[in-house]
């Protein structure tokens, strides 16, 4: 039985927001609080009644879960669309959450891309950066602790809106550098984050 207190806290945070997309300072995009454990995320998925489509371990520290649909209401017209929610964990902590739209043809992919890009631009302004190569298009918005990236893949007819939590991403990058150098740095702050129940910066605690 997983920790009941952690599960109750997650559920409270999930339903308190009432909005699927991250606001400035909101660390629960798509209904999953950044930094929660794999177990707590699985509890939220189970309570929502959503079907798990994929649950893969890519390495000792990386796990990805994809569920059908979303667990919260999205302020967009998604009726009749193939909608999925993707989660990526690093060292058992939630690193990123994604809204994934899969289309049958290029027209559907273009419509989904235009819809999400307009929504994000209306909400956050013009993207910080953008890139295009072959079948891929990418737009990026930067927030204090969250990086927002809109990916479009015309070849696979897929559009993905990904929220990445910067504190966990920084830990991941540090570990990758240590592995590449063949060294292992002792970082008490990093260990507190990964092994404890710390899930967000001091400025956001108590919210």
What is the sign, positive or negative, of the torsion defined by CA atoms of 22, 25, 31, 36? positive
Are the C-beta atoms of 130 and 121 separated by less than 8 Å? no
Helix, strand, or coil (residue 178): helix
pLDDT of residue 34: 94
pLDDT of residue 33: 94
pLDDT of residue 185: 54
Per-residue confidence band for 27, with pLDDT thresholds at 50, 70 and 90: confident
Per-residue confidence band for 17, with pLDDT thresholds at 50, 70 and 90: very low
More confident residue, 119 or 27: 119
Q: Does residue 50 have a pLDDT over 70?
A: yes
As a whole number, mean pLDDT of residues 3-8 equals: 41
Q: Does residue 12 have a pLDDT over 50?
A: no
Give the pLDDT confidence of 61-116 residue by residue, as tens digits.
999 999 999 999 888 889 899 999 999 999 999 999 999 999 999 999 999 999 99
Q: Which domain holds residue 155?
A: 4-204
Q: Does residue 11 have a pLDDT over 70?
A: no
Give the pLDDT confidence of 124-177 residue by residue, as tens digits.
899 999 999 989 999 999 988 999 999 999 999 999 999 999 999 999 999 888
Count of structural domains, the chain:
1
Per-residue confidence band for 29, with pLDDT thresholds at 50, 70 and 90: confident
CA distances from 207 to 26, 110, 154, 190, 202 (A): 10, 38, 40, 22, 10
d(CA 53, CA 177): 32
Between helix 166-181 and helix 188-195 the angle, nearest 10°, is 120
């Amino acid at each position: 039985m997983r920790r009941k207190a952690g599960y109750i806290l997650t559920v409270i945070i999930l339903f308190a927001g009432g909005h699927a997309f991250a606001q400035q300072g909101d660390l629960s995009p798509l209904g999953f609080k950044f930094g929660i454990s794999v177990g707590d995320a699985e509890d939220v998925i189970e309570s929502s009644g959503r079907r798990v489509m994929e649950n893969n371990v890519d390495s000792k520290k990386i796990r990805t879960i994809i569920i059908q649909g979303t667990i919260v209401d999205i302020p967009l017209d998604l009726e009749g669309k193939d909608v999925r929610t993707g989660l990526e964990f690093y060292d058992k902590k939630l690193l990123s959450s994604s809204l994934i739209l899969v289309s049958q043809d290029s027209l559907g992919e273009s419509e989904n891309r235009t819809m999400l890009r307009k929504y994000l631009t209306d909400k956050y302004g013009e993207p910080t950066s953008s890139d295009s190569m072959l079948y891929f298009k990418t737009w990026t918005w930067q927030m204090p602790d969250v990086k927002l990236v809109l990916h479009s893949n015309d070849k696979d007819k897929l559009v993905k809106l990904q929220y990445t939590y910067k504190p966990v991403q920084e830990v991941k990058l540090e570990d990758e550098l240590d592995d590449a150098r063949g060294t292992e740095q002792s970082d008490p702050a990093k260990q507190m984050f990964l092994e404890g129940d710390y899930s967000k910066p001091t400025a956001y605690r108590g919210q």
